[in-house]
């Protein structure tokens, strides 16, 4: 491994936070994503890259769901208490790993989990910035969401946008609007476009990827959130950022996405900064599509994680 990490001490340890959770969206199966990624051998693959890898089983959220006798919608938000308690547990797990100098690698599960992962990162690295790779902006507020699915809302919760849901009072609005950058967007709701515009939130959609090429886009994205390459980076990668021909097994696929190489390039370039402190891979749903597509999606998920943790082509 050529690059050294600015923030993760040697021997570099990656802590896998397996999150079999689907409560932020309606499709069953996304909770099996982390199980497939582990079974595909991600632990060994990361060890082969020179990481010490900690993984002591997937998080068990049954206790939380069993303790919730019922979880009626709040407004139109679905499973609001379940998502709150699960993401709070994830925030504590991620924050704890970060506190010990480990790099948390959270495998979802749906993207509502990022309420937890990014809260955990910011608890330890208040100056961290976020690179959010996704077809979607996931920044709906209580006022703008049409679906009520919380996986379309984590960014607004982290920023404290929209009216507050008391159930989420544990979430500190610690993410500043200038500390996130998006890459890959192409399915952004009208209300979300307004939020991005009014808050001057930097986003590189597929239009910019086509126009400038991925190399330039990643450079501009990092220049925006991390001009001196000295801030910790949290990379949150939704597998639906990739084109559905590359990663078909996901709940909300949108055509016109990143190629295999464009997705990996983003991960490689973030790793090269030496600033990565936390990594999410979300929305792999092995129950959607045929077996070949599932295997393909799981394999791509593993290779994105390897690229973000130092695998190079040469």
CA distance 250 to 254: 10
Q: Running DSSP on this structure, what letter comes out for residue 145?
A: -
The answer to whether 31 contacts Mn ion (rule: CB under 5 A) is no
CA distance 120 to 114: 9
Active site residue 264: no
* Candidate list 102, 238, 262, 280; residue touching Mn ion; CB under 5 A: 238
Residues between 103 and 142 with contacts to Mn ion, criterion CB under 5 A: 111, 134-136, 138
The answer to whether 71 contacts ligand ARG (rule: CB under 6 A) is no
Q: Running DSSP on this structure, what letter comes out for residue 250?
A: S
Q: What's phi and psi for 97, nearest 5 deg? A: -65, -45
Annotated active-site residue in 58, 59, 151, 234: 151
Residues between 78 and 137 with contacts to ligand ARG, criterion CB under 6 A: 111, 136
Q: Are 87 and 113 in contact (CB under 8 A)?
A: yes
**What string marks each residue from 143 to 182 as x (binds ligand ARG by CB under 6 A) or -?**
--x-x-x-xx------------------------------
The answer to whether 283 contacts ligand ARG (rule: CB under 6 A) is yes
Q: Are 257 and 186 in contact (CB under 8 A)?
A: yes
CB of 305 to Mn ion, least distance (A): 16
Q: CA nearest 132: which of 204, 51, 208?
A: 204
Say how many residues touch ligand ARG, by CB under 6 A: 14
Count of Cβ atoms closer than 10 Å to residue 119 Cβ:
24
The answer to whether 238 contacts ligand ARG (rule: CB under 6 A) is yes
Q: Token pair for residue 250?
A: 């996901």
Closer to ligand ARG at the Cβ: 102 or 192? Answer: 192
The answer to whether 189 contacts ligand ARG (rule: CB under 6 A) is yes
User: Counting Cβ atoms within 10 Å, is residue 101 exposed (0-12), middle (13-18) or buried (19+)?
Assistant: middle
Residues lying near ligand ARG in the complex (CB under 6 A) are found at 111, 136, 138, 140, 145, 147, 149, 151-152, 189, 238, 240, 252, 283
Residues lying near Mn ion in the complex (CB under 5 A) are found at 111, 134-136, 138, 238, 240
């Amino acid at each position: 491994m050529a690059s050294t990490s600015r923030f993760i001490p040697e021997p570099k340890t990656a802590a896998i936070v397996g999150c079999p959770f689907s409560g932020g969206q309606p499709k069953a199966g996304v909770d099996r994503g982390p199980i497939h990624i582990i079974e595909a051998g991600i632990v060994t693959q990361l060890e082969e890259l020179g990481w010490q890898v900690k993984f002591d089983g997937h998080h068990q959220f049954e206790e939380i769901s069993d303790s919730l006798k019922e979880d009626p919608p709040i407004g139109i938000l679905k499973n609001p208490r379940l998502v709150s308690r699960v993401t709070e547990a994830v925030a504590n797990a991620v924050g704890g790993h970060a506190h010990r100098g480990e790099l948390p690698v959270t495998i979802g599960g749906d993207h509502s989990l990022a309420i937890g992962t990014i809260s955990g990162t910011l608890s330890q690295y208040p100056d961290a910035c976020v690179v959010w790779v996704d077809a979607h902006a996931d920044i709906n507020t209580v006022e703008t969401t049409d679906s009520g699915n919380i996986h379309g809302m984590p960014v607004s919760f982290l920023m404290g946008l929209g009216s507050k849901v008391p159930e989420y009072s544990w979430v500190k609005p610690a993410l500043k609007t200038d500390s996130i950058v998006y890459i890959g967007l192409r399915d952004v709701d009208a209300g979300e476009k307004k939020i991005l515009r009014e808050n001057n939130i930097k986003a590189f959609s597929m239009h910019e990827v086509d126009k400038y090429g991925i190399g330039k886009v990643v450079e501009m994205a990092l220049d925006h959130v991390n001009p001196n390459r000295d801030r910790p980076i949290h990379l949150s990668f939704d597998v639906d950022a990739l084109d559905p021909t590359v990663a078909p097994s996901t709940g909300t696929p949108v055509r016109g996405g990143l190629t295999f190489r464009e997705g990996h390039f983003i991960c490689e370039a973030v790793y090269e900064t030496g600033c990565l402190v936390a990594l999410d891979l979300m929305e792999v749903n092995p129950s959607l599509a045929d077996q070949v597509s599932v295997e393909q999606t799981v394999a791509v998920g593993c290779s994105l994680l390897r690229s973000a943790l130092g695998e190079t082509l040469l």
